Amino acid sequence: MSVAAVGQFCATSAVSLNKSICRDLISRAANLGAKMIFLPEASDFISINKQETLSLTTTLENSEFLLGLQETAKKENVWVSVGLHESTSSIPSKVYNTHVIINSQGNIISKYRKIHLFNVDIENGPRLMESDSTLPGDEMLDPVQTPLGKLGLETCYDMRFSELSIALTRRGAELLAFPSAFTIKTGMAHWEILLRARAIETQTYVFAAAQIGQHNEKRTSYGNSMIVDPWGTVLSKCNDSTIPSIAIATIDLDYLKKIRAEMPVMNHRRNDIYPKID
Ligand SMILES: O=C(O)CNC(=O)[C@H](CS)NC(=O)CCC(=O)C(=O)O
C-alpha cells in the first residue's frame, strides 16, 4: 500500500509563479508521505490566447517549468505526473498538450500527447477550439510502472472516450491519470460521473488533478480534483478554494485485485458480438 496525492491550483500566464506553486505542492505531498503526486493539465500556464500560448511554449528539454519540477521530484524523492505545453517540430504555429511522468530521480520516463482535442461550441458557453493552437498526439502509450502500480496516461477530454481507458486497461493499467482543466459548465454536469464511470468499468484507480478558479478574463476551471478507487468510491477530494491544495489517499492493489476477481468484467466481454478493444 502506498500514499498518492492530487494537487490543485489556478495557473495563470505567469509561468515561474506556476512553477513555484507546483514545486510547493510536490514538497507538501512528499511531506504527507506520498510516493507520487498528480498535477493538473497545463500546469505551466493557462494563456489568454494562441499568441501567448506560442510565446510561452518550449520543448520539454528547454522548459524551465519542467526542469524545476524535475529538481523538486529528485530532492523530495517523489514521482510526479504533470500536464504542460510542448512545442512541435513539424508545425511551429501549434503546440502539443503533453502529459509527462517524472520519476523520483527527476528523470522524464514517459510523455503522452493528448489525442482527443476539445473542440466544442456549447450554447451559452463554453466555446473552445483546442485544435486552433494544438496538434493532436498520434499514439497511445503502454502503461508505465510507478511505485503505485501500472499507470495509463490520458489527459482531460480523453476521459470521455472510454475506448482509450479500456485499451489501456487491457495493456495492464491499474491506475489512470487525467490531468485536467475542465470547464465549469461541463464539469458540473459530467466531471465526477465520467471519472467514476471510468474507474468502475476499468476497475482502476483514477487520479484527476484539475485546475480551479479564474485564470484570466476568458477562462475559469471547475476544480474538484479527486482520487477514485476501482469500486468507484471517491476516496479524497481537494477543497473548493483557489488556494493551492492537495488531497491524498492510500492505493491498495490487493483491493483492486479483489474487485477484479469478484467481478471479472474484462473477461465477461462478448467480443463475438461487438468489436474488441485492444
Ligand atoms: O488550454 C490549455 O492551455 C490547456 N488545455 C485545456 O485546458 C483543454 C483544452 S481547451 N481543456 C479541456 O480539454 C477541457 C475538457 C472539458 O472541459 C470537457 O471535456 O468537458
Which amino acid is it at 210? A
pLDDT digits over 103-119, tens only?
999 999 999 999 999 99
Best mutation site among 13, 82, 118 for ligand 1 pocket (most ligand atoms within 8 Å of CB) = 118
Q: Residue 28 has which C-alpha cell?
A: 507538501
Structural domain for 176, as ranges: 2-267
CA–CA distance, 209 with 54 (Å, rounded to integer): 24
Does ligand 1 come within 6 angstroms of the Cβ of 8?
Answer: no
Number of domains in the chain: 1
* Low-confidence spans in the chain with pLDDT less than 50: none
pTM, rounded to two decimals: 0.98
Report if residue 108 sits inside a domain.
yes
**ipTM computed for the complex:** 0.96
CB 116 within 8 A of CB 134: no
Cβ–Cβ under 8 Å, residues 177 and 154:
yes
Q: Does 275 reside within a domain?
A: no
What is the pLDDT, as a whole number, of residue 17? 98
Spatial distance between the Cα atoms of 270 and 6, rounded to a whole number of angstroms: 35
Cβ 242 vs Cβ 213: under 8 Å: yes
**Protein residue with least CA distance to atom 13, ligand 1:** 157
pLDDT score for 123: 95
In a domain, 278, yes or no: no
Task: Assess whether the C-beta atom of 157 lies below 6 angstroms from ligand 1.
Answer: yes
- Do strands 95-102 and 79-87 pair parallel, antiparallel, or not at all (unpaired)? antiparallel
How big is the chain, counted in residues?
278
DSSP 8-state symbol, 267: G
By C-alpha distance, which of 213, 187, 257, 249 is closest to 11?
213
Any domain includes 272 = no
277 belongs to a structural domain: no
According to DSSP, the β-strands at 212-216 and 234-237 are unpaired
Best probe residue, ligand 1, of 48, 122, 180 (max atoms within 8 Å of C-beta): 180
Instruction: Find out whether 168 and 151 touch, Cβ atoms under 8 Å.
Output: no
Over residues 158-167, the pLDDT tens digits come to 999 999 999 9
Residue 194 within a domain: yes
Q: Report the SS3 class of residue 275.
A: coil
Spacing of C-alpha 201 from chain mean position: 18
Residue closest via CA to ligand 1's atom 1 equals 46
User: What CATH number does residue 247 fall under?
Assistant: 3.60.110.10
> Is residue 273 one of the residues assigned to a domain?
no
CA distance 95 to 111: 14
Q: Residue 157 Cα, ligand 1 centroid: separation in angstroms?
A: 6
Is residue 241 included in any domain, yes or no? yes
In one-letter notation, the amino acid at residue 126 is P
The pLDDT of residue 73 is 99
User: How many other CB atoms are found less than 10 A from the CB of residue 138?
Assistant: 7
